[in-house]
Structure formats: structure tokens, C-alpha cells
Amino acid sequence: MNTGIEKKDIRLLDLPALQDILTGMGEPKFRAKQIHEWLWKKGANSFEQMTNLPKKLRENLVNHFSINTITIDKVQKSLDGTIKSRFRLHDGYMIESVLIPVPVDRRYTVCVSSQVGCSLTCKFCATGQMKRHRNLDAGEIYDQVVAVNQQSLETFDHPLTNIVYMGMGEPLLAYRNVMESIDLITSPEGLNMSPKRITVSTAGIAKMIKKLADDEVKFNLALSLHAADDKKRDQIMPINEQNNLEALMESLRYFYRKTRNRISYEYITFQNFNDSLEDAANLVKLCKSFPVRVNIIEYNPIDGAPFLKSAEHKIDDFARHLRKNDVMVTVRRSRGKDIDAACGQLANKE
């Protein structure tokens, strides 16, 4: 029955707001907790699935609320086992998530998106060439984790072990929704995952990194660094002009001092741009203020970008210089390149 009332997505309501609405409808308070559990713990995408609710209440909910879950639009499987999923949102926009399995280490990581597109225009990133349409709400981020966890169970007989906010968008520009999604993911009423298994990656917004510290977050933080001096970083990441390395290092020191959470630098190497031993020496200087791990990432070419992947021996020399100076470093070989699922390649391509 169409009541003519514009339906609100019920998942945008927290438990107290849900309780207020239910008691206002003359229902006992505990019904809100039942609905909340159906939505987040059991992943219901319709009110009809909520079988412990009276039929009249379910009809009432259908008339007044929607459940705007995401739906899988396309799945691609890489030769290396990586799985990329494109999801359709309730308003027709598309986003992508990536499942990265490393069975030998029993690590199954989902890379989730936080925005439709991105506004930061990093020169090496396909998502940065897209227009930012909107932030994802907490439920849309949460749904990616639920759907990819199901993929992991079905494909590898293993649940997700880690979540990285490194997909489409800048998480700290969708701050409230990202934080709400992490609350849901880590809550016993949600997925009950440890925050220590979650990493939020940022291109570098100093004031928001300080806000993370003031909010005493429990998850890990990654800075997409990619150049260890301001001149080079300005060329590839326009955000650096307002958030230079001095400001970023000060904010990261503050973050570590307040939280003691793990910090890592993501560093994509580009041929003859940021892969020299001089660049490595500059990076060493940025690793002395607090404990940090450097993840060196192979560049994945994208249409319209002038960069090339560094030679293997240059990457190895770069990493060796860091280790020689007591910097923890991991070289991450690209996964999912054949399906445009590797770092910087997410762009909703057909």
C-alpha cells in the first residue's frame, strides 16, 4: 500500500532513535532492539525477513521505512585470486570493493570504498579522475564488508581477517559515516570485529588526523605518502598544498602520542620520479618521529597518467636502504591488475 509518505532509510537511525519511534507507535521498547539486530547482525534486507515481529508491525514498517541495501552488479576474478565487486547503490551510483586473499598467511582483506568517486584529484589514481558525487552512508560501507565476507567464505572457506578503507574516496572527508561504519563493524551487535584489524587510509588531512586522535580511535592509520618532499608531493597530490609534510608529521605525532595505534606509510614508486636513493633518504627522515611501517607499492598504470612502474631493482634498492636505516618495510606486489582491482585502479570501468 502506498501511503504517500516519503520513506526514510531505517538504517540511518541509531538504536535510541529507533526506540523513540517504536514507542511512539505504541510498540514495546524491545522491538527496536529486535529490528536493530535484524538489520546489522543478521543482515536483513526486507522487513518480511523479520519473522519475530508481529505482522501488523512489519506492515507498518513497510509503509514508513525503506532498507537501502547495496546490490552486487558485477564480479570479476583475477588470475591471482583477487576478487573485485561492483555494487549498485539505491540511487543508481556504483562503487567497488576488492577481496585480497593471501591464503599462505591466512589473511583475507577487504578494501572498501567510502565515497562515490573522489575530490582529491591525485595524478596517479583512476578514482581521482572521477567526480565525487556523494559520501557513502555507514550502512553502505558496512554492506560491502558483509557481502565480501560472504564471498570469502564461499570462495576460500575463510572469513575476512582485515578491513582497509583504501577503496574509492577519501575516508576522512566522509568522517562521520566512516566512524559510524566502524562502530557497527566492531560492535557485538554488528560484526564484532577487532578494531586492530581495521586500517583507515588518508591522503593526508592534518586537522582530521588530529580529530581521530581526539576521538581516541582504536583502529590503525595509513598515510598515502608517495613522496617524501613537498615539491614532489605537490606535483602528484594537490592536497599537499594545504596539508604539507610538516603539518602532516605534526598531526601524526599527535595521533601516535594520544592513541599509540599503528601508523604506516603507503608509498607507490614511480620510475625516475620518487624511487632514487635520495628519495629513500628523505623518507627515512620521516620515519624517525614515531614507530612507522612503510609499505612500498608497485605502480599500476592507468589511462591518462604519465607515470611508469619502477624497475624491480630500483624498488629492491629503495627497500634495502630503508631497512639499512632501521625502517620496517614491506614491498607489496600488485594484486588484481588484470581486472583493474589494484591500488589506484578503481574507477567503475566496464
Q: pLDDT band for 302, please (50, 70, 90 cuts).
A: confident
Residue type, 333: R
Stretch among 28-37, 100-109, 124-133 having the lowest mean pLDDT: 124-133
Residues labelled catalytic: 96, 343
4: left (phi over 0), alpha (psi -120 to 50) or beta: left
Q: Where are the domains of the chain?
A: 8-66, 71-339
Condensed to tens digits (0 to 9), the pLDDT of residues 128-170 reads 778 899 999 999 999 999 999 999 999 999 999 999 999 999 9
Residue 1, Cβ density class (10 Å: 0-12 exposed, 13-18 middle, ≥19 buried): exposed
Mean pLDDT confidence for 275-300? 95
Condensed to tens digits (0 to 9), the pLDDT of residues 67-96 reads 999 999 999 999 889 999 999 999 999 999
Q: Which CATH class is domain 71-339?
A: alpha beta
Task: Name the helix (H) or strand (E) containing 258.
Answer: helix 245-259
CA 96 to chain centre: 11
Fold match, 8-66 / 71-339: no
pLDDT at 19 over 90: yes
Q: Where does 8-66 sit in CATH, by number?
A: 1.10.150.530
